[in-house]
Amino acid sequence: MKIIKDKKLFGKISIFDMIIAIIGVLVIVFAYNYLYSSNSVKVGNTYTNVSFQIKLDNLPVGTSEQISSGDLIYDNETNVYIGKVTDYETQEFKRIIEDYENKKYVEAVVPDRETVILTVETSVYDTGADLITANNYYVKVGKELHPRGPSYAGTGYIIHIDR
C-alpha cells in the first residue's frame, strides 16, 4: 500500500491542503495566546513614571560610595531592566539579637556593614492590582529582588512605592 499516491496522502488528502491546514491551526493558536495571555502588556497601554524604594541590607561598608544618581539598575538574576537611581540613603546595618542577661531582644549595630535605600524611578503600566514595566517586570511592595548597578550588587526588597 502506498502512503503517497498522486500527490495525495493515503490517496485522499492533498499534501498542499494538509500544510495549509497546519499553518492555519498554528496561526489561530498564536493569535489566541497573544490576545489572552495574562502575563504580557498589550500594545497601546499608557505608562506613567513611578518611584519606589529598594532596601539593601548587610552590604559591606563603602558600597554606597559606588552608587550615584543616574545609575541604571538591572535584576541580577533575570538581567531585566528595573529602573534608574534618582537618590540613595545610607544607614547603619542593625540586627536583632537576644540579650541573655536581661532576657529580651535588642537591636545591635553590625560593624563593617551598612544598609542602603535606593530610590529608583521607572515607567510602569498600572493594572489596578499590579504595576508592570514594559519588559514585564512586576513592581510590588515586599518583592524580593537582586538589583545590580555598574559596580555593585545586593539583595533586598521593595519597601515603598510613590504612585
Between 126 and 37, where is the model more confident? 126
Domains of the chain: 4-36 (no CATH), 48-162 (2.40.30.110)
| CA angle (90, 152, 95) in 5-degree steps | 45
Residues 144-157 have a mean pLDDT of: 94
Who contacts 106 (Cβ-Cβ below 8 Å, separation ≥6)?
Answer: 96, 97, 99
pTM, rounded to two decimals: 0.69
- Res 69 pLDDT > 50: yes
So what's the pLDDT on residue 117? 96
Question: How are the residues of the chain apportioned to helix, strand and coil, as percentages rounded to the nearest 5?
Answer: 15, 50, 35
The pLDDT of residue 41 is 46
Residues β-bridged to residue 139 = 131
pLDDT bucket at 21, cuts 50 / 70 / 90 = confident
pLDDT, tens digit, 9 for 90 and up, residues 102-126: 999 999 999 999 999 999 999 999 8
125 and 46 Cβ atoms separated by less than 8 Å: yes
For residues 45 and 149, the model is more confident at: 149
Q: What is the mean pLDDT of the chain?
A: 87
Q: Are 154 and 63 in contact (CB under 8 A)?
A: yes
